[in-house]
Chains A and B, each alone.
Chain A
Amino acid sequence: MLSRKRKTKACGVAILAASCLFFVRASQVPAAEGGKAATLAELIGGAKKETTLRAQWGADTLDGGPGLQKIVAGMNKKYGLNLQPSFTPGPNMQGMMTKIAREVAAGQPASSDVYFGNPQSMLQAIEAKALMPMNWTALLERKLAPEGGFDPIVPGNIGIAMASTLVGAVYNSNLVKGDDVPRKLDDFLNPKWKGKIASTPYAAGLREFAMPELLGRERIIEFTKKLSKHIGGLMRCGETDRLTSGEFLMLVLACGDQEVNIAQRKGIPLGYAILDEATLSHTRYAGVPKNSRSPNAAALFIIYLHTVEGQKLMWDIDGLDFHLYPESNQKKKLDAAKARGAKFVVSSPQWLQKHKDYEATQKELEKILRGEGS
């Protein structure tokens, strides 16, 4: 017969063990699976065994959850799958890459089965070895060739470009009209805009414009110092509600024109100005995290977005498509900007790698925009 003391002790130990078991059971997640298909058929076969496609990125990327649902529905139809989409809003592209890199380092499953990034976050991915190398060109359903020195495949085959957008300024078209619409960088410094315009905390556009092929470091640093004293605050690229509400009249400079493309279709008063001096094609990349729980479905998702229907869907839901494809809407805009004589580059990890001072310049610009030491 156990004494009362022993009974109580045993009870305590049992409760502790049960609690641990409960927590372990409750929080159990499937372990990360590897998966590397060599052909599209293998990819489809692998994706058929996966049930869910988890996605985490900014709620404004690919129209968040509703956008993911539409793309996955298209994929399911095209490839005969039965994938369930699951979207959770997440941090920005750099933040998300950091999260994935941390998860890879810790051996935890990835928060997102697919990763969407920009050239800079793909550089991060190269360094962190966070994405799965895949033979993208072999998997694509149609030819995607390099053009004008721009290679859409990320070094190491860890990702592939899937869309491009042109850098310029977004403005509230009810409040900025006619000749007030900026054409040159210095137009933003007009005293009438003081305290009424915004920039991004990450110096979108400005960081690329500071490179020698475009407007150069000296000019942009000087401009940003003036701009920092001129702006009313900072906002992220997707926060166009802050423009329509009148909180700010313009965003100098934006990451791209995709929100405006969508807004204009809905009658939302937003306009987009591509500067006569320079522009760049800001490239969007995708890749599959090494610790993705549905790597085949994730890769197939990216392949699907390269199909004609995938590109159209992306244009419809996010105002983006890829200028290397002949049917691209962005290609037409890009050709128009080139015809106006604007200096032009396509940003890519390879392009960034060539510019050793890019990161330092960006940090300096960010600091100026935050109001530190300006």
Chain B
Amino acid sequence: MEAVLRLPRLAAISFGAWPLLMVLAALPMLVILILVAVLIWISFQAGIVGTASASYTLNNYREIFGDPFVLKVFWNTVVFTIATTFTALALGLPIAWLTERTTLPGKGLVYTIMTLGLLIPGIYTAMGWTFIAHVRIGFLNRWLMEAFSLDRGPINIATPVGMGFVQGLNLTALAFILTAQMFRAMNPSLEEAAKIHGMGFVATARRITLPLAFPAILAAFIYMLTIGIATFDVPAIIGLGNRIYMLSTYVYLKANPPDSGLPQHGVTAALGTVMILLALLLTWWYSQVLRQGHRYEVVTGKGYRPALINLGKWSLLAWALIALYFLATKLVPLLLIAYAAFVPYLAPPSFEMLGKLSLDGFRNLNWELFWRGLYNTVLLVLSVPLITLILAFSISWLIVRSRSRLRYVLEFGAFLPHALPEIIMAIGALLLALFVLPKAIPLYGSVWLIAIVYVISRLAFATRALNSSLLQIHRELEEAAYTAGLSPVRTSWRILVPLLRPTLMSVWIWTAILVYRELTVAVFLIGQDSVTLPAVIWSYWFSGATTQAAAVTLLMTAVLTPLILIFWWFGRRQVMAES
């Protein structure tokens, strides 16, 4: 009798019936709201926030809209972001197409290379590219200068476009992942029809393939634009010393002035508010593009098997492109970082310097700091994905299964962190922990403050992925479980979690990787007890200890890559088993 009563309850489920899920879903929403509120509150303050010198003012907004230098920073950011996105798509899209739509041999290896691409922290590629293409010390420029008797290197990565190129290389793996699925699912019937009508390869690509792929490409484009706006590592490593400022580095400098100034948190928060508005605009555009996606649907319920384009001898060229990508973004930077870790001081590679290689960089390393950083990084890599998954599952379940209008609020709230630049969330969290939270919750200086920001910032991706997967699981299964007398928690554990395992694993891995390589938040929230390895690298780099920065980078790669690879291998096994 009770089971019969439960069925209609599930069909018209209300939020009140699910306090546990509600609490878990509401918790991150509350944190997001508080962070945004703190940010807006601070944007109207001058002086050191929380001290007697603070006062309310509109000057922060006047400064960012009235200062031509800030306008220049905005312009640099626009150029950088566009260059980033174009580079990532220019490389990621063809590789995705080659992998999914052609007979390219060794596709598993391509996936491995692209996934490994995600493991390399951006700071690392930026450091590597400084050695490759810096206008004076980059070996590429030095070769070109010697070959053509030039006074100055012809390639300059210390420009918004140059930095965008380097960041684009960082995001190529993401562009690949965002578009590979689209190519995999695309029904080739229209392309085949075009072929029958005598259209060539280029014409088919221009008139059929690209227009069909357009919404997915545009969605990836916008997604990466939102990431590009807030990118910190590449602009910090390459831009700061060359007086090329982006919004993220400008915010950093306002919060941590390298000069005589005091931190201008008010200006930082005002800029953050503007960045949020920009990102919200992009997010709205993104959602509009996704909604229009149905106009381009070519995947139907009918069975189909995408026909693969036979590459023939062109496979060689395709692999050359992929190898070049691997070489330029992973291998060469890694080799140069290794070189920097073993030289006694930084100088361009030469036979003389090779003779000076030693282990001094490692011997002089602050090992206590390294272990502390490693401990915190591992703690974050293990805890953040788990907490993210629990919260995201609660939110997604309510969004997908509930019929309450509040689910729209949850959906918006869960996607909002994607629009909030991490740098802004970090500053909000720092000030929140310092001045708003009672001392009974001593989050300031603790690794859990970083964990909270990480969890919030990864929520958008996790809920998006889980929403899609939950939609594919008919509620009949849960209703059957209820009929059999299972509690909501056991139903989730016994029915939903096994069915969602591939998605849960991929979200877990993705979150773990992003946590492992994250720098922006850590740089702002670093403390004695919360230092992470990327923050240690940054600190060394920023204080000029390049060889130590390189040594820690090598160690971090050596120690944590197996951990991430285990996740990755386990995840793949799970996905394969499920499929």
- The 8 A CB mask of A190-224 against B (1 = contact, 0 = none) is 00000110100111000100000000000000000
Cα distance A89–B51 in the bound complex, in angstroms: 25
Stretch in contact with the other chain, from B205-213, B301-309, B432-440, B458-466 = B432-440
Cα distance A111–B445 in the bound complex, in angstroms: 8
Total A-B pairs in contact (CB under 8 Å)? Answer: 214
Flag whether B48 is at the interface (Cβ < 8 A): yes
* Interface contact B545-A60, CB-CB below 8 Å: yes
Flag whether A9 is at the interface (Cβ < 8 A): yes
* Interface contact A23-B241, CB-CB below 8 Å: no
Flag whether A2 is at the interface (Cβ < 8 A): no
* Interface contact A29-B258, CB-CB below 8 Å: no
Closest 8 CB pairs of A and B: A65-B366, A27-B446, A239-B544, A89-B539, A12-B20, A59-B543, A241-B346, A105-B51
- The 8 A CB mask of A233-259 against B (1 = contact, 0 = none) is 111101111101111000000000000
Flag whether A4 is at the interface (Cβ < 8 A): yes
Flag whether B536 is at the interface (Cβ < 8 A): yes
Flag whether A268 is at the interface (Cβ < 8 A): yes
Instruction: Determine the chain B residues whose CB is within 8 A of the CB of A59 once the complex forms.
Output: 539-540, 543-545, 548
Flag whether A11 is at the interface (Cβ < 8 A): yes
Flag whether A26 is at the interface (Cβ < 8 A): yes
Instruction: Determine the chain A residues whose CB is within 8 A of the CB of B449 once the complex forms.
Output: 27
Flag whether B291 is at the interface (Cβ < 8 A): no
Kindly identify which residue among A24, A111, A241, A359 contacts B544, using a CB–CB cutoff of 8 Å.
A241
CB distance from A182 to the nearest CB of B (A): 19
Task: Give the interface residue-count category, chain A.
Answer: 35 or more
* Interface contact B48-A203, CB-CB below 8 Å: no
Stretch in contact with the other chain, from B224-232, B408-416, B522-530 = B522-530
- Given A12-B20, A246-B348, CB of A363 within 8 Å of CB of B544: no
* Interface contact A101-B51, CB-CB below 8 Å: yes
* Interface contact A87-B366, CB-CB below 8 Å: yes
Flag whether A38 is at the interface (Cβ < 8 A): no
Cα distance A90–B543 in the bound complex, in angstroms: 9
Can you spell out 11 A-B residue pairs with CB atoms less than 8 angstroms apart? A12-B22, A12-B24, A23-B448, A60-B544, A66-B366, A87-B368, A88-B531, A94-B262, A102-B50, A105-B48, A244-B345
Flag whether B293 is at the interface (Cβ < 8 A): no
Instruction: Determine the chain A residues whose CB is within 8 A of the CB of B440 once the complex forms.
Output: 24
Flag whether B444 is at the interface (Cβ < 8 A): yes
* Interface contact A54-B241, CB-CB below 8 Å: no
- Given A87-B368, A95-B257, A244-B347, CB of A106 within 8 Å of CB of B434: yes
Cα distance A204–B527 in the bound complex, in angstroms: 27
- Given A29-B529, A64-B366, A359-B260, CB of A89 within 8 Å of CB of B434: no
CB distance from B153 to the nearest CB of A (A): 11
CB distance from B241 to the nearest CB of A (A): 5
Instruction: Determine the chain A residues whose CB is within 8 A of the CB of B529 once the complex forms.
Output: 27, 29
- Given A86-B368, A196-B136, CB of A241 within 8 Å of CB of B546: yes
- Given A5-B17, A12-B22, CB of A238 within 8 Å of CB of B347: no
Nearest B residue to A293 via CB reads: B528
- The 8 A CB mask of A278-318 against B (1 = contact, 0 = none) is 00000000000000000000000000000000000000000
CB distance from A41 to the nearest CB of B (A): 29
Instruction: Determine the chain A residues whose CB is within 8 A of the CB of B364 once the complex forms.
Output: 66
Cα distance A54–B368 in the bound complex, in angstroms: 12
CB distance from A261 to the nearest CB of B (A): 15
Instruction: Determine the chain B residues whose CB is within 8 A of the CB of A15 once the complex forms.
Output: 20, 23-24
CB distance from B232 to the nearest CB of A (A): 15
- Given A59-B539, A88-B369, A103-B434, CB of A202 within 8 Å of CB of B445: no
* Interface contact B137-A24, CB-CB below 8 Å: no
Chain B interface residues (CB < 8 Å from chain A): 17-20, 22-24, 27, 48-52, 69, 134, 136-137, 152, 158, 240-243, 256-263, 344-348, 364, 366, 368-369, 372, 434-435, 439-449, 487-489, 526-529, 531, 536, 539-540, 542-548
| Besides A12-B20, A105-B50, A201-B258, 8 other A-B contacts (C-beta < 8 A) | A59-B539, A66-B364, A89-B539, A103-B444, A124-B262, A236-B258, A238-B544, A242-B346
* Interface contact B19-A8, CB-CB below 8 Å: yes
Instruction: Determine the chain B residues whose CB is within 8 A of the CB of A27 once the complex forms.
Output: 441-443, 445-449, 529
Nearest A residue to B373 via CB reads: A88
Instruction: Determine the chain A residues whose CB is within 8 A of the CB of B241 once the complex forms.
Output: 198, 233-235, 239, 242, 247
Cα distance A373–B67 in the bound complex, in angstroms: 11
Which residues of chain A in 333-374 are interfacial with respect to chain B, using CB atoms and an 8 Å cutoff? 359, 362-363, 366, 370-373
Nearest B residue to A248 via CB reads: B136
- Given A98-B263, A233-B242, A235-B241, CB of A26 within 8 Å of CB of B546: no
* Interface contact B260-A202, CB-CB below 8 Å: yes
- Given A108-B444, A370-B243, CB of A203 within 8 Å of CB of B259: yes
* Interface contact A111-B527, CB-CB below 8 Å: yes
**Interface hub of B158, B263, B364 (most chain A Cβ within 10 A):** B263
Flag whether A92 is at the interface (Cβ < 8 A): yes
Nearest B residue to A118 via CB reads: B260
Cα distance A198–B442 in the bound complex, in angstroms: 42
Nearest A residue to B370 via CB reads: A65
Cα distance A157–B386 in the bound complex, in angstroms: 51
Instruction: Determine the chain B residues whose CB is within 8 A of the CB of A20 once the complex forms.
Output: 441
Nearest A residue to B243 via CB reads: A371
